[in-house]
């Protein structure tokens, strides 16, 4: 059984210092009305640490209706200190405690307004609103959620009277009652408590207990149904906070269905974010969870193939790469993406587009694409093998070493279409060019990682990380270790479909964390031939009609 450390538990509620505060005022407008009384009580572990109470001279007469409500008269505050004189003592009393109030936003608004007028910064610590938590935990158990109603209904020893200290005592009673109720939902730490109001009346709230054993560490989590089938795999920098967020901020229909079916939540702790991301990919591929979308359909990825093993090579979209003489780009996530890439290349390079075998002698006239000048047509006999090989060499060079030979002409064509107000065509070309640019960038990143061999990195706060041909091989929470990797004898060979998601994951992580990483070792130079390419997200010309 995994025993959580104090760090895993975060800040236990029994160790949190709460300061319950209540203010009485001349009215409800923070910028126009003034504070007339302040009451505060500090608690830790259910024990009172101290109290603070003072009347405050608002510098004006107190309206009769406020006197009727609170019993505070102008005569009572006539010799009381002004709020500017009270603030230093109050702030010292508050210290670094968590402020608690019933509709705490009202009290903080007046407090921050007074702080601002005295030239001080606004209070920016943690706050807890008992009104919001009561609405979450005892929504249907009382006629309303006013402090007076709850105190009477729950028979608190302290009843509010619209005097600051009395109301603070009643709010303290309510706080401790709500903490006891919240513990049934697995609310054990301060972060759980502050998140609780966000967990609206969720139909699966009782399943929050499934998150009690989750640590506040990086890792991978799995939702399982009653048959033990993995429904969903995810990663997190804070396992507990991420999983509990499914019961609060995430209101997607798919998530609600996932929670209905979930009967168990498992997790693996990871040493850092990269290990969590890699383990997530591996487990998605292993379990193929029904609620995951990314990575589980890797078997449907496709390649763009340039058929170099025939007299007049052409481009095609294929499901698998073979051990032949062809050039493969990819894999890419879908057939439609691969088709966009082919269309983008053919928009620049006039490769043949017909699929039949080219006869040794001319048998027909030029095809339609040849007639409009977008390709050559070997079947018509108007192009020789030698001249066609120059076209193929240009395409191969552009795809493997010089992407600008494709991307620059695509940018120019797109700009020309936009200037001719052919916006739909320009937009279509942009989508195809972006698909090509993305595929070339990823292919380059993967090629660099694999050709670098063994890479050892020092990651701040996480220790060392070792990659072998771009795959994580040390400190992975995977019992198979190296056996889960697909180490190739030829790292320059096009990547296999099952590997690509993990390699993309590592490449993205390296790009994001590069400034803070320290390279300790690599077998071969770790550099990119083209570190950045035109991604076609930002255009130099408008690609939509004005006004759209």
- Quickly count: other Cβ atoms within 10 Å of residue 227's Cβ: 7
Q: State whether residue 523 is helix, strand or coil.
A: coil
C-alpha span between 142 and 140 (Å, rounded): 6
Determine the length of the chain.
548
C-beta pairs of 24-33 under 8 Å, 24+ apart in sequence: 24/70, 24/72, 24/162, 24/163, 24/164, 25/58, 25/66, 25/110, 26/58, 26/60, 26/62, 26/63, 26/66, 27/63, 27/66, 28/106, 30/109, 30/110, 30/113, 31/113, 33/58, 33/110
| CA geometry: angle 440, 445, 451, nearest 5 deg | 120
313, 307 contact by CB (below 8 A): yes
Q: Which of 102, 145, 162, 267 is catalytic?
A: 162
C-alpha span between 366 and 102 (Å, rounded): 82
Phi, psi at 36, each rounded to 5° = -115, -20
C-alpha span between 358 and 402 (Å, rounded): 29
528, 448 contact by CB (below 8 A): yes
C-alpha span between 422 and 428 (Å, rounded): 10
Q: Is 162 a catalytic residue?
A: yes
485, 471 contact by CB (below 8 A): yes
Dihedral of CA 472/473/478/484: which sign?
positive
Phi, psi at 159, each rounded to 5° = -110, 140
122 conformational bin, left if phi > 0, alpha if psi -120 to 50, beta if neither: beta
Torsion angle of C-alpha atoms 117, 120, 121, 125, degrees rounded to 10: -110
C-alpha span between 137 and 205 (Å, rounded): 10
List Cα–Cα distances, 169 to 98, 145, 147, 151, 300, in angstroms. 16, 17, 11, 10, 64
User: Tokens 């995430």 label which residue?
Assistant: 250
Q: How far apart are the first and last CA of the chain?
A: 60
Phi, psi at 198, each rounded to 5° = -75, -20
Nearest to 234 by CA among 202, 225, 224: 224
User: Tokens 């027909």 label which residue?
Assistant: 364
- Catalytically active residues are 162
């Amino acid at each position: 059984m995994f025993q959580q450390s104090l760090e895993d538990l975060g800040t236990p509620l029994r160790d949190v210092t709460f300061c319950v505060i209540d203010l009485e005022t001349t009215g409800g407008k923070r910028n126009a009305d003034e504070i007339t009384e302040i009451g505060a009580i500090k608690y830790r572990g259910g024990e009172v640490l101290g109290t603070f109470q003072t009347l405050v001279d608002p510098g004006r007469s107190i309206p009769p209706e406020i006197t009727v409500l609170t019993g505070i008269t102008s005569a009572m505050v006539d010799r009381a200190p002004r709020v500017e004189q009270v603030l230093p003592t109050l702030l010292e009393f508050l210290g670094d405690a968590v402020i608690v109030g019933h509709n705490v936003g009202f009290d903080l608004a007046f407090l921050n307004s007074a702080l601002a007028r005295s030239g001080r910064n606004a209070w920016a610590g943690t706050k807890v609103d008992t009104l919001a938590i009561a609405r979450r935990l005892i929504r249907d158990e009382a006629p309303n959620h006013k402090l007076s109603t709850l105190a009477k209904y729950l028979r608190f020893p302290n009843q509010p009277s619209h005097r600051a200290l009395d109301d603070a005592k009643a709010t303290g009673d309510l706080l401790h009652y709500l903490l006891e109720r919240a513990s049934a939902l697995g609310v054990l730490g301060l972060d759980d408590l502050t998140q609780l109001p966000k967990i609206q009346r969720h139909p699966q709230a009782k399943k929050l207990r499934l998150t009690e054993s989750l640590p506040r560490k990086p890792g991978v989590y799995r939702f399982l149904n009653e048959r033990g089938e993995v429904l969903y795999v995810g990663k997190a920098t804070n396992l507990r906070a991420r999983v509990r967020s499914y019961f609060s901020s995430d209101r997607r229909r798919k998530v609600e269905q996932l929670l209905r079916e979930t009967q168990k939540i498992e997790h693996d702790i990871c040493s850092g974010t990269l290990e969590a991301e890699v383990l997530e990919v591996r487990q998605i591929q292993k379990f193929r969870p029904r609620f995951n979308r990314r990575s589980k359909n890797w078997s449907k990825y496709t390649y763009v193939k340039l058929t170099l093993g025939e007299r007049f090579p052409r481009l095609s979209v294929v499901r698998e790469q073979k051990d032949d003489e062809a050039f493969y780009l990819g894999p890419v996530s879908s057939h439609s993406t691969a088709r966009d890439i082919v269309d983008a290349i053919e928009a620049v390079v006039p490769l043949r587009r017909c699929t039949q075998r080219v006869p040794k002698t001319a048998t027909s006239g030029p095809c339609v694409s040849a007639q409009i000048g977008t390709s050559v047509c070997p079947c018509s006999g108007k192009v020789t093998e030698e001249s066609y090989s120059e076209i193929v060499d240009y395409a191969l060079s552009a795809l493997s070493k010089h992407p600008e030979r494709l991307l620059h002409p695509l940018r120019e064509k797109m700009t020309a279409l936009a200037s001719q107000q052919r916006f739909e065509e320009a937009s279509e070309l942009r989508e195809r060019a972006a698909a090509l640019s993305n595929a070339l960038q990823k292919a380059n990143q993967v090629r660099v990682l694999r050709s670098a061999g063994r890479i050892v990195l020092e990651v701040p706060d996480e220790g060392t990380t070792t990659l072998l041909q771009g795959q994580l091989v040390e400190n992975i929470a995977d019992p198979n270790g190296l056996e889960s990797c697909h180490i190739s004898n030829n790292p320059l060979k096009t990547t296999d479909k099952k590997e690509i998601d993990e390699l993309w994951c590592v490449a993205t992580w390296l790009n994001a964390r590069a400034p803070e990483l320290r390279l300790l070792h690599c077998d071969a130079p770790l550099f990119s031939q083209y570190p950045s390419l035109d991604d076609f997200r930002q255009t130099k010309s408008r690609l939509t009609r004005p006004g759209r």
